Structure 1
Amino acid sequence: MPRNTVRGDSPLFVALDDEAPTYRDGLVLRVEFSSVTSPRPILLSGHNVQHLSLDLRSSGFSGELVVLVSDDIALRSEQRDALLTLFRAPDLIKLRLTVQAARLDRDINALPLPLEINALVSERALSEHVAKLGDAPLSYRRYIVRFADAAQVLWRQHFPCELFTNKSLRQVIDSYRTTHIVVEYPDLEVGQVKPMIFLGCDSEHRPSERASFYDLLMWRLDEMDKLFIYDYNRKVHQIHGSKPRPSVFDLIPGDLSGLSTYYPEYPRYQKNVLNDFVENVQNRILDNVKKVPTLRQDHLFNTMIARGFDREVQDRTVAFRMPKPEFVMHYRAFPSKAYYPGAGIDFRVDKEDLEAEDIAIPTEAALEVCRVYRMTLSARRHEIDVAAVYDGLVPASFDLRTRVWLELASDTQLRLPPYTLPRYPVAIEGRVVSEAGTLIEETYQFYPETLSQIPRYKVMMPVFGNQVITTPYNPNTLPGQFYFPLYKYERVLVDMFFDRAMICEMREWRATAQLPQDSQGDQLLLGKTPLNRTSVVHWYENNRPVFEIERLNQFDNQVVKIAEGNMLLQVGTPPLGVTSGTPIGRKMVLPLGMPAVPPLGSPPLPGGLTPASPSTPSTPSTPSTPSTPTTPTTPPGPVRP
């Protein structure tokens, strides 16, 4: 279950955010648009900017920008407005934005370093207008862009349905990286190889279930209790197992308007983890000293492995955190020194300066260093200054609102962005694998797990390049007194989860098992091949029931047949053409276009499975993109009865 708590929708959270005052200040802005196919940027100054909003989080950023660009030759001229051609082309657009205060940094008596954002444009729009500049009309265009970090823009359009076997989550992420996305892995757990990783993203799901690869990755990191952090200085994403210690930033108290403390809602329930495996039912309690009696939240888990349940309880215990206080700072002037989420602020260093500005330090914030985890900025100009005569170094005046959210440095609460839960399972067809017996024998085989020795099926997934996964070896939909393991190359429907799979349905009759409809017969077919098998058949002749048990091994045949008024017991060689199956039936079981599984001891086939003993799982093939499965031929009708 997801453990991430998104507090951005809390009414009190929103109310504190809206208390930020509006102030007027000068900003020095520089805007660069460029196409990914052309490195030459189109430069705009701060006087072209009409509106700017930024939402900087520890996991990434998003924003909106509105600019005015003049074109006074003709309304539809492209001679001066170079941005028009770029906007009308379908190419991916890059945006480089720098923002800095117009005031001098009093510590160094110079302009501070700007806040710099490198983004990709996700949405864009434009409108054309005419303004009066004296007696002459001045034409201009109003451009609106939505932008975000490259991972959000690209991976939110990425909906892979792909299987990886014997790969790590790190390898999966790296396979989808582009030149715009750089990911680093300080945490080593994401590099651990897993038996299977299945990505079941579908863009045709309803919006509430339309999880992209970005959503799936955030969900999985949430499940693993990992952090997705964006380094604003180096412009890279990082996956951490714990939060890095923040570097203390020099705060300018004169820029602040106020400081508030936010106490999140505390859990008042008792957390229980239940194992419903009937041979080892357990109920573990995760104690909550602040609980209210009778309130509880239960988590169901099923495993026959004791250490698997212990690990789940441990993970849930670590994930069950009591929230700590958070703080929000409101500004009355744009920050004299730019900083990003992840920066540390020690209010104790500036205690006297804050008191001089009539700003009280919250009791909790005075105990330790605080970490910035979110910043929001909105800037708007009411003047329509579209004459492009500025070089970007002259400040423009804006009405601004700035909020900064902080947490205690010891707070371990995950700060992942909101995401859509992926929908599992995904049902996909496969073929059961058995390496026992010869190629044409419909044998069954189970493969004990390395550590637990619990038997499992192997299933080949043709749509994913014949990669092999494992599923539970159990009665499936049959009662326990029926021991009918799935045979070699049986076509099955597999429920695919992120890191496990389960056979949910058998999808074809065995070769020679079907009987003519006119006979209204039923048959139980046992054995390896049509010429080495035992069958139990019941059918009708002239509306009279007939029951037969037959054993056949090549030319050795025994039959017990009970019909109306007679009983036949036959031992010997079957008459020609009276066998209940022919070798042609084997063509139904071999999937066309798929490499066959070789017998034990034979050399591996190119692109096929590596032969292995029944107790040693074979090594699955490398992941590949889905291919078109071959449809098997229609089963031939049986020769008998």
Structure 2
Amino acid sequence: MGKTFHDDLRLELSLTAGGTSFSIPGGQIKHLSVQLASHGFTAAVTFWTSLEKQDAPLFIAFQKPELIQVRVSIAAEDPELTSPPAPLVLKGLVRSRRLVAEEHGTVQGAERVFRRYTLEFADAAQVLWRQHRPIELHTNTSMKELLEAHKASLQLALDWTELKRKLPMICLALGADEPGVSFYDYVCWYVDAHQGVFSYDSQKNEYLFADSKPSSGQAAPLGPLRVHRTRVLLPPPIRHGARVLNAVAQGPTTTPIDQPQAVQGTFHDVLVRTPLANRADDREKLEKTRLKLHQRQLQVAFKRYPTVDVFPGALLRLEGSLWPASLTGLDEDMRVAELDFEAHAEGAGPYEQQQDFRAPYAVRMSLRLESSSEAAVALPAYRVPRYPIHVEGLVHSPGGEPEDRRYLIVEDEKTSITDYRMTVPLWNKTVSVPAEPTHMPGQFFFPPYKRTRVLVALHHERAELLRFLAWKEGVRTPQSGQGDQILLGESKSSQTALTHDFQEDKPVWRMFRTSGGDTQVIRMGEGNLFIQVKETEASKTPTPTYDVTPQVEAAKGDLSAAVGDSLGQTSAAFQGAMAASRAKMQSAQTAMKATMKAARAEVGAKVAAARSGMQGASSKLSQSSGQLSAASESAKASLKKLR
């Protein structure tokens, strides 16, 4: 740390526990050590007490588990200084405490003791956030809102553009499992990942999140008379470049990022997979900032208490004729990056200077200085959060009855990327996952139906569908038949089932279609083929009208809440519904080909009318089987007229 020197210091120590404050005279402080960096501090203090009756409230409070707040002020008592620097003030929370009693005689037969208290304390973020390990899911929020929600008693200055950006989702995965990542680790990881600034102002007891380091202020002149030694610290050069690899199949790219000191052929590769060029460009810019070379630093050790402010963030300037002319950093504005301070009372016994507010100390003190133009940020060592975490979700598709088997595919109008929606009941939040075939090849189209139970992987800012956890109602076949089944359609009353099972140890295949009271069955068994078209009068559903405005408006409001009023998304869903409607119409025409020739014109007219009525709808209509049923009923009525 440097040379030990002797100075009179005025130390002030106050403790607050359980709402009660205790002031400790500076002469009782026998040892104080501080390691103060740009991101926070750790410290330890030891003091004696001898007046047991007066000390009783502190002794009682010290043994309780209540949180103890510590305030320490350090100032030099130097008559040579006409305008001394402001006291160095630290405010923190106790991490650990120790208490030792030492006898010093008896009074009226009762033993009397000195009590030696030792406290280890740190800034509030290290104490509280290192024990804070939440698991949460947030949607449509910003990092600024997240930090505000988790700041506890901390004072935050959130002056970083990145924090204000609204994100579709943010997942905190900081639970009690290994590797024990805390919210403090998460904050440092996020700042490092986005090349921001996280710093602590000890004088204000405030944490700053910003795009860059503060550069305002006037540098104070620092002469050599109180400096014992200066050293130049040279950071290790970066010997690698970088490459950003985009592994998307439609247009893979490899973008090299040069770095002047890199050895040819040495890279740090970053792998991304995104079809969006702007996201790959953003990652390239981020990786380029990581390759900035650190500037050299100065380490200054003192032989007297300095005459200028020395807390991290303060600006100093080594100037004056007494400095060597060739000194590195001379006449440059330097920023204090780190302070090491340790003081041992020269009168270390419990009897000495118990009630004095100043005392002589053996002090060691040094600073680490960086150029005021240094952009690199020094962060504490941290653990990287582990992603993803796995939670259960339910497929979200608005509209219809609760048990309907509808699906929703949403297309982003800006990126043309399609997504499913998944509701995570644990937090009652809905997230987007890519609409991909998942575990099936691309020639199969089986989108997940609403309220299907699924396993969702939550990353920090995205989610993905891993697998399905349950069959929909009615899909499973009895164990005895050893059957397989595919169930298509939106509900029990409007669906098509393809079933293969064994009856009397003989394979049987069936296709069963139903739409209200209208059913068709094709059955193939041992030596027979059965085809049936049946209509049950009692089961007929009322013929719907072609005015779908109420349904459209209801679906529109429901969909807007889920996807944020995206007209492009609803338009895509509308086109999908129309395609399904046309497919069903063609199937019905094929089944009744021999009897519907004369009525085809009338059916076509009704279909055209239905399409015309639906053109004004801007919402997703996932199924149109009701309109198909109406058209079929009308067609049959027309056939009866022809007979």
Aligned-residue offset at 1:230: 1.7
- CA change 1:557–1:239 in 2 (3 A) is same
Is 1:23 aligned to residue 5 of structure 2? Answer: yes
| Deviation readout 1:201-229 (Å, 9 max, x if unpaired) | 11x222xx212222211211222211112
Q: Is the contact made by 2:395 and 2:448 (CA closer than 8 Å) also made in structure 1?
A: yes
Q: Which has the higher contact order (CA 8 A, sep 6+)?
A: 1
Partner SS, residue 218 of structure 1? helix
Question: What is residue 97 of structure 2 aligned with on the other side?
Answer: 124
Whichever of the two has the greater Rg, that structure is 2
Aligned partner of 2:394 among 431, 435, 450: 431
- CA change 1:58–1:163 in 2 (3 A) is same
Aligned-residue offset at 1:497: 1.4
- CA change 1:547–1:525 in 2 (3 A) is same
| Deviation readout 1:399-445 (Å, 9 max, x if unpaired) | x3222111111111112222221111111111111125454421111
Is 1:229 aligned to residue 199 of structure 2? Answer: yes
Question: What is residue 422 of structure 1 aligned with on the other side?
Answer: 385
Distance, in Å, in 1 between the alignment partners of 2:528 and 2:485 is 21
- CA change 1:611–1:253 in 2 (3 A) is closer
| Deviation readout 1:306-348 (Å, 9 max, x if unpaired) | 111112112211232112111211122232444210111211x
Question: What is residue 25 of structure 2 aligned with on the other side?
Answer: 45
Partner SS, residue 499 of structure 1? coil
Partner SS, residue 463 of structure 1? coil
Question: What is residue 186 of structure 1 aligned with on the other side?
Answer: 159
Distance, in Å, in 2 between the alignment partners of 1:401 and 1:599 is 78
- CA change 1:448–1:215 in 2 (3 A) is same
Distance, in Å, in 2 between the alignment partners of 1:34 and 1:53 is 20
Q: Is the contact made by 1:303 and 1:309 (CA closer than 8 Å) also made in structure 2?
A: yes
Distance, in Å, in 2 between the alignment partners of 1:362 and 1:525 is 82
- CA change 1:549–1:105 in 2 (3 A) is farther
Aligned-residue offset at 1:614: 7.2
Question: What is residue 172 of structure 1 aligned with on the other side?
Answer: 146
Aligned partner of 1:70 among 37, 50, 60: 50
Question: What is residue 375 of structure 1 aligned with on the other side?
Answer: 339
Q: How does 1:598-609 map to 2 (within 5 A)?
A: 600-602=552-554
Q: Is the contact made by 2:28 and 2:355 (CA closer than 8 Å) also made in structure 1?
A: no
Q: How does 1:565-584 map to 2 (within 5 A)?
A: 565-573=527-535
Q: Is the contact made by 1:102 and 1:395 (CA closer than 8 Å) also made in structure 2?
A: no
Aligned partner of 2:359 among 378, 381, 395: 395
Question: What is residue 440 of structure 2 aligned with on the other side?
Answer: 478
Question: What is residue 587 of structure 2 aligned with on the other side?
Answer: none
Aligned-residue offset at 1:192: 2.1
- CA change 1:246–1:406 in 2 (3 A) is farther
Distance, in Å, in 2 between the alignment partners of 1:213 and 1:242 is 22
Aligned partner of 2:286 among 298, 306, 315: 315
Distance, in Å, in 2 between the alignment partners of 1:163 and 1:361 is 57
Partner SS, residue 170 of structure 1? helix
Q: Is the contact made by 1:344 and 1:370 (CA closer than 8 Å) also made in structure 2?
A: yes
Distance, in Å, in 2 between the alignment partners of 1:323 and 1:112 is 30
Name whichever structure is richer in helix by fraction. Answer: 2
Question: What is residue 448 of structure 1 aligned with on the other side?
Answer: 411
Distance, in Å, in 2 between the alignment partners of 1:140 and 1:599 is 82
Partner SS, residue 341 of structure 1? coil
Q: Is the contact made by 1:526 and 1:534 (CA closer than 8 Å) also made in structure 2?
A: yes
Question: What is residue 15 of structure 2 aligned with on the other side?
Answer: 33
Question: What is residue 532 of structure 1 aligned with on the other side?
Answer: 494
Is 1:353 aligned to residue 315 of structure 2? Answer: no
Distance, in Å, in 2 between the alignment partners of 1:479 and 1:610 is 27
Distance, in Å, in 2 between the alignment partners of 1:210 and 1:362 is 46
Aligned partner of 2:64 among 64, 86, 89: 89
Question: What is residue 463 of structure 1 aligned with on the other side?
Answer: 426
Query: Structure 1 counterpart of 2:553, which letter?
Result: G
Distance, in Å, in 2 between the alignment partners of 1:231 and 1:118 is 11
Query: Structure 2 counterpart of 1:199, which letter?
Result: L
Question: What is residue 488 of structure 1 aligned with on the other side?
Answer: 450
Partner SS, residue 311 of structure 1? helix
Aligned-pair identity in percent equals: 28
Query: Structure 2 counterpart of 1:353, which letter?
Result: L
Query: Structure 1 counterpart of 2:366, which letter?
Result: R
Q: Is the contact made by 1:30 and 1:392 (CA closer than 8 Å) also made in structure 2?
A: no
> What is the aligned-residue RMSD (CA, Å)?
2.9
TM-score between the two structures when normalised by the length of structure 2: 0.80
Q: Is the contact made by 1:259 and 1:361 (CA closer than 8 Å) also made in structure 2?
A: no
Q: Is the contact made by 2:6 and 2:360 (CA closer than 8 Å) also made in structure 1?
A: no
Question: What is residue 87 of structure 2 aligned with on the other side?
Answer: 114
| Deviation readout 1:348-390 (Å, 9 max, x if unpaired) | x23x2334xxxx7643x13631111111112234754324864
Q: Is the contact made by 1:101 and 1:336 (CA closer than 8 Å) also made in structure 2?
A: no
Question: What is residue 330 of structure 2 aligned with on the other side?
Answer: 366
Question: What is residue 264 of structure 1 aligned with on the other side?
Answer: 235
Partner SS, residue 339 of structure 2? strand
Q: Is the contact made by 2:242 and 2:287 (CA closer than 8 Å) also made in structure 1?
A: no
Aligned-residue offset at 1:609: 5.9
Query: Structure 2 counterpart of 1:425, which letter?
Result: P
Q: How does 1:148-297 map to 2 (within 5 A)?
A: 148-178=122-152, 180-202=153-175, 204-206=176-178, 209-245=179-215, 247=217, 248-297=219-268
Structure 1 window deviating more from structure 2 (451-460 vs 331-340): it is 331-340
Distance, in Å, in 2 between the alignment partners of 1:392 and 1:251 is 31
Distance, in Å, in 1 between the alignment partners of 2:80 and 2:205 is 25
Distance, in Å, in 2 between the alignment partners of 1:614 and 1:460 is 22
Distance, in Å, in 2 between the alignment partners of 1:313 and 1:112 is 45
Distance, in Å, in 2 between the alignment partners of 1:449 and 1:366 is 57
Aligned partner of 1:501 among 452, 463, 466: 463
Query: Structure 2 counterpart of 1:86, which letter?
Result: A
Distance, in Å, in 2 between the alignment partners of 1:390 and 1:599 is 83
Q: Is the contact made by 1:435 and 1:600 (CA closer than 8 Å) also made in structure 2?
A: no
Aligned-residue offset at 1:188: 3.0
| Deviation readout 1:272-301 (Å, 9 max, x if unpaired) | 110000111100000122222332211101
Query: Structure 2 counterpart of 1:500, which letter?
Result: R
Structure 1 window deviating more from structure 2 (275-284 vs 535-544): it is 535-544
Question: What is residue 61 of structure 1 aligned with on the other side?
Answer: 41
Query: Structure 1 counterpart of 2:416, which letter?
Result: Q
Partner SS, residue 159 of structure 2? coil
Question: What is residue 578 of structure 2 aligned with on the other side?
Answer: none
The gaps in structure 2 that reach 5 residues or longer are 540-549, 571-643
Question: What is residue 577 of structure 2 aligned with on the other side?
Answer: none
Partner SS, residue 58 of structure 2? helix
Aligned-residue offset at 1:99: 1.0
- CA change 1:575–1:515 in 2 (3 A) is farther
Query: Structure 2 counterpart of 1:59, which letter?
Result: H
Q: Is the contact made by 1:159 and 1:212 (CA closer than 8 Å) also made in structure 2?
A: yes
| Deviation readout 1:5-25 (Å, 9 max, x if unpaired) | xxxxxxxxxxxxx5x233343
- CA change 1:550–1:42 in 2 (3 A) is same
The gaps in structure 1 that reach 5 residues or longer are 1-17, 73-77, 578-597, 618-641
Q: Is the contact made by 1:493 and 1:504 (CA closer than 8 Å) also made in structure 2?
A: yes
Q: Is the contact made by 1:104 and 1:112 (CA closer than 8 Å) also made in structure 2?
A: no
Q: Is the contact made by 2:259 and 2:291 (CA closer than 8 Å) also made in structure 1?
A: no
Aligned-residue offset at 1:600: 4.7
